[in-house]
Structure 1
Amino acid sequence: MEPPAGYTKASPGQVCHLKRSLYGLKQASRQWNTELCSKLLAFGLTQSPHDHCLFYKHTTDSFLGLLIYVDDVLVTGSHSSDIKALKAYLHQLFTIKDLGQAKYFLGLEIARGSDGTHLNQRKYILDILQDTGLLLCKPAALPFPQGLKLESKGRSPLAEPDQYRRLVGRLLYLNLTRADITYCVQQLIQFMNDPYTSHWDAVVHLLRYLKGCPSKGLFFPATPSATVTAYCDADWASCMDTRRSISGYCIFWGGSLISWKSKKQPTVSKSSAEAEYKALNTLVCELLWISYLASDLQLPISTPIPLWCDNQAALHIVANPVFHERTKHLDIDCHVVRNQFKAGFVSPLKISSQLQVADLFTKSLGKVQFGVLVSKLGMKDVHLCPT
């Protein structure tokens, strides 16, 4: 072992026995997390078993919650005295810097009002446009042209693939508030190893769309609600290279979008019904996790949860307890949907394809349909002129 740079007291052959972790060492982050968690637990907080970044404390008349990301902390609570006591405790241990009310956190811009809270990443988007030289480009109406499907091989290999990788990586973080580009980013990230010019053209088109609405983000109304609603969809055999399907879902708590996803299924589906059923399974697993978090925070959830799907055959598979030729090849874990339906946790319902919000996460839509579905996500532009 070689001593760290700047340390001259070690003799040849000696090793360091660290009493506290140092920046730059591989175990530094683990040691810091262990130290911070132990101090928070000593304060009386409880670490959530379902999300280890969440700490909370309940009493008969108060609530105190804390979220950590490395050494950045968000604190909330029902009483300001509890928040001040926690801050004083942490400052005594670690010498923290109190930034007051959260307005900017890890690239998220937080705007509060009497009607609710708005989250957006406007500065982050403008920085991306500035770095790529597209700040003055002509805006596009859609993230992707309607019906666009990317393939692994394009016209010619990209001359600078590292630029593509860095850019798509930055767009991946943008998914925190921009659910309207989730499907596009899911498509682009598949070609990180070997990007072609056609993939770069798709990225540029997506940036032109962001140029037209950099301030758009998620809006969370101040009105409380215990109603959870979920939508799921699948685009059967849509991958041009593997013929695997794309699953997509979105979950609303009241009128607020709280979870969404677009992902290629791990196996090839034999029918559209099977693809939709696998998408239902993914959604139900996410709903179970959300219900566990809600239980930690003592938030009530109305059950059964409406689960909207536009495939009638998939709904029949959920309701039919008998295995038959169309379902006997499915893995057992896929039938968590049927089990939760029988337990009364979810209630799968039929919805028209034109009203299926999850279509946003499985395919490239036309301008009219895209605008209608995005408006249903509860996304707003905080800097949009009323006129």
Structure 2
Amino acid sequence: MEAIRLLLAFATYMRMTLYQMDVKSAFLNGIINEEVYVEQPPGFENEKAATHVFKLNKVLYGLKQAPRAWYDKLSSFLIENDFVRGKVDSTLFRKEFKSDYIIVQIYVDDIIFGATNEQLCKEFSSMMQEEFEMSMMGELKFFLSLQILQTDNGIKIHQTKYTKELLKRFKMDDAKEMKTPMHPSSALTLDEDSPSIDQTQYRGIIGSLLYLTVSRPNIMFSVCVCARYQAAPKQSHMNAVKKILKYLKGTMNCGLWYPKDTSPTLVGFSDSDFAGCKMDRKSTSGSCHIFGECLVTWHSKKQACVALSTAEVEYVAAGSYCAQTIWLKQQLQDFGLKLDHIPLRCDNTSAINITKNPIMHSRTKHIEVRHHFIRDHVEKGDCDIEFIETENQLADIFTKPLPKERFYKLRTNLGILCEDNLS
């Protein structure tokens, strides 16, 4: 999903229109390179050789080799036609033609593509339909439950239909609306005195909400907090989950807005609370990346160890951000865009100084080696650590429950619109 969002953001920057094609019986196109035998299927039995089995020449649906065989067939065909495969994302292909180029993103049997010249899209569509049995679905509008609306001003990404189905499935479509997904004073614990509830239903709601975070980063923190109690959920945990559903009821049309005519820049925000978990006193890290004005990646995760200071938790959070930055940088190189000195904005000056100081001293000697990954890339110039005031820290929404005014402000600044015209 991160690769798809990055492609959509890049398309807005290049003012490209994205199209979609669907492969009919995709797996039946693959040629199998291994010896695989199957029992005689019903209706194809040979009475003279009832104990024999069939040897497959091509793949069938249900074989674990089927996806790999189909990908090998498709990628070989594209490479033969002068497409270049991405070095990071092997499902991304790019072909240049004089000053124009076309980008192709593959997801199993769905193909998304766009070009700086519409003629290249027409030629690609004709080429694929001649080789495979495919259907042209026109402009990209619906992909993996994502509703995508391409306009002259930008791209809107939302999951309104999925949200309505989710609320109806869990009988919350008539619930009272909430202004925020979690109250600022909320603090979930194991709550062993609270009555137990149906684990299957609780896990089903959590799984559905986690998929909704693909286009709704504003519920990311609250969903991740509730997901920590799936092993033994209690009534208090279910009440917290229902508050999220009530918030969704009032913001059903909420989604991401990717405006056009943005600059080809990548900016990251990294933040962390301190000992936010009331049980084990571990902190929660949050980060996000914005390409131009398009929010493309985000995450909220509880740290693995207890930290001794706010500087340490911010430093660990920045290290996690750096790994994601390197991936985004390499992914953009496959698009033909080279970026260096990508800024990371952090609101803790001590953490910033640790990233720039290669000396191991008493305050940092206990920090695990893997968290010092960021130092190396700061020295190489891959990213730069910058200071930002806490009130302008956009990643704050991924680390703690916020008051309504602060929550609305960050939601708007991240490009998350909750308006009726987003339908």
User: TM-score, normalised to structure 1's length?
Assistant: 0.93
Structure 2 residue corresponding to 1:186, chosen from 221, 224, 228 = 224
Are residues 26 and 227 of structure 1, via their aligned partners in 2, closer, same or farther at CA, if it must alter by over 3 Å? closer
- More off after superposition, 321-330 vs 208-217: 321-330
Number of aligned residue pairs: give it.
384
Partner of 2:386: 349
Residue 228 of structure 1, CA deviation: 1.8
Q: Is 1:101 matched up with 2:139?
A: yes
Residue 12 of structure 1, CA deviation: 4.9
Structure 1 residue corresponding to 2:96, chosen from 58, 74, 87 = 58
Distance in 2, Cα, partners of 1:2 & 1:105: 36
Partner of 1:334: 371
Contact 1:154–1:198 at 8 Å: present in 2 too?
no
Partner secondary structure for residue 336 of structure 1: helix
- More off after superposition, 305-314 vs 234-243: 234-243
Q: Is 1:280 matched up with 2:304?
A: no
Contact 1:248–1:262 at 8 Å: present in 2 too?
yes
Partner of 2:400: 363
Partner of 1:372: 409
Contact 2:253–2:420 at 8 Å: present in 1 too?
yes
Residue 158 of structure 1, CA deviation: 4.0
Residue 155 of structure 1, CA deviation: 4.2
Partner of 1:315: 352
Residue 262 of structure 1, CA deviation: 0.7
Residue 5 of structure 1, CA deviation: 4.4
Residue 46 of structure 1, CA deviation: 2.0
Partner of 2:27: none
Q: Deviations along 1:228-276, whole A, 9 cap, x unmatched?
A: 2211111222233433221100111121111111112233323221111
Q: Is 1:162 matched up with 2:211?
A: no
Contact 1:157–1:194 at 8 Å: present in 2 too?
no
Residue 206 of structure 1, CA deviation: 0.3
Distance in 2, Cα, partners of 1:166 & 1:38: 40
Structure 2 residue corresponding to 1:225, chosen from 250, 255, 263 = 263
Residue 382 of structure 1, CA deviation: 4.9
Are residues 99 and 384 of structure 1, via their aligned partners in 2, closer, same or farther at CA, if it must alter by over 3 Å? closer
Distance in 2, Cα, partners of 1:365 & 1:27: 48
Distance in 1, Cα, partners of 2:129 & 2:83: 16
Contact 1:155–1:197 at 8 Å: present in 2 too?
no
Q: Which runs of 5+ in 2 are unaligned?
A: 1-37
- More off after superposition, 95-104 vs 143-152: 143-152
Distance in 1, Cα, partners of 2:305 & 2:359: 23
Structure 1 residue corresponding to 2:81, chosen from 20, 40, 43 = 43
Distance in 2, Cα, partners of 1:337 & 1:187: 27
- More off after superposition, 151-160 vs 235-244: 151-160
Q: Which runs of 5+ in 1 are unaligned?
A: none
RMSD (CA atoms): 2.0
Amino acid at match of 1:340: H
Partner secondary structure for residue 248 of structure 1: strand
Partner secondary structure for residue 88 of structure 1: helix
Contact 1:75–1:83 at 8 Å: present in 2 too?
yes
Partner secondary structure for residue 306 of structure 1: strand
Partner of 2:45: 8
Contact 2:262–2:293 at 8 Å: present in 1 too?
no
Residue 334 of structure 1, CA deviation: 1.8
Amino acid at match of 1:165: R
Q: Deviations along 1:331-360, whole A, 9 cap, x unmatched?
A: 333222222222233221222222211111
Amino acid at match of 1:20: K
Q: Is 1:79 matched up with 2:79?
A: no
Amino acid at match of 2:310: S
Structure 1 residue corresponding to 2:361, chosen from 316, 324, 337 = 324
Distance in 1, Cα, partners of 2:259 & 2:41: 52
Distance in 2, Cα, partners of 1:294 & 1:149: 39
Q: Deviations along 1:58-86, whole A, 9 cap, x unmatched?
A: 23311111112221111111122222222
Partner secondary structure for residue 204 of structure 1: helix
Partner of 1:68: 106
Q: For 1:88-167, list aligned pairs within 5 A.
A: 88-156=126-194, 158-167=196-205
Structure 2 residue corresponding to 1:204, chosen from 229, 234, 242 = 242
Partner secondary structure for residue 347 of structure 1: strand
Contact 2:94–2:104 at 8 Å: present in 1 too?
yes
Partner secondary structure for residue 268 of structure 2: strand
Structure 1 residue corresponding to 2:61, chosen from 23, 26, 29 = 23
Partner secondary structure for residue 230 of structure 1: strand
Are residues 73 and 203 of structure 1, via their aligned partners in 2, closer, same or farther at CA, if it must alter by over 3 Å? same
Contact 2:177–2:249 at 8 Å: present in 1 too?
yes
Distance in 2, Cα, partners of 1:152 & 1:31: 47
Amino acid at match of 2:60: L
Are residues 152 and 38 of structure 1, via their aligned partners in 2, closer, same or farther at CA, if it must alter by over 3 Å? farther
Q: Is 1:305 matched up with 2:307?
A: no
